[in-house]
Structure 1
């Protein structure tokens, strides 16, 4: 099954522990986040602790294929796609990069990036030396994250969402 971001199974309890590598590896320290069978869960920082964990987006869930291959789940990251200072979410699926913008309380609709070169058909799935190099950074200093990865012919970079 390939990740398509569709469907929304019921959410696990907030106290459910992260027990698989596919869930634990994609966590990031800026805010508490958990990818699970129902999607991506987040808890906002209060400055000294984290608030309650809640489902922020039902996409990127196990039933849609995100758990099936490390070339999918290990690429989930939280760049600032639109330059407003909030972490958004992006991950590489079978057809390319998928991103959803945060409004500070949840992630919005998942969109596939128009930038090419990240799909299974581009050979990314079969080569950790390609998918593990996916990096989000602001190349042109416009405040929005761009994306780069290593490919057979060198480094490929582009804009995430236009």
Structure 2
């Protein structure tokens, strides 16, 4: 799964802003996307479309556009915020993108007892994935294969990341010795 670091702070925590997600999709995944408005059950939704050749896909991953209580925002500010929120989540859902610390880790509902992988570990793992030419959304399968147990790339713990890097490096050392 592709992972984008959260870089903005809002009233309810941190999030990856739409500009960062779009830059990642364009520069790293090399995918062209656009957003479209769809109406489902008499409600406004934002959905993602992906360019495939000269054609655009049908709308994918529609997210309802809902405004909150406003808390000092004008109606247009509330709408703009709701549209951006729906676009971020539609894009992430359509392309299988996760952010570094999803809401489930920080909501209090399911606290993680183990530390997440460090930025250095994530950079090293990203380097390995690039070297091995692992396609987007196949990262978890590749890492699971090396560790010989199911893990999810976007939620690797510091221990799992360390074990993966060590196992990968050991595997490469063994290959060099055999050659």
Report if TM-score (shorter chain) is over 0.5: no
Whose strand proportion is higher, 1 or 2? Answer: 1
Whose helix proportion is higher, 1 or 2? Answer: 2
Short-chain TM bin: under 0.3
TM-score w.r.t. structure 2 length?
Answer: 0.25
Q: Which one has a bigger Cα radius of gyration?
A: 2
Q: Higher RCO, 1 or 2 (CA under 8 Å, sep at least 6)?
A: 2
TM-score w.r.t. structure 1 length?
Answer: 0.27
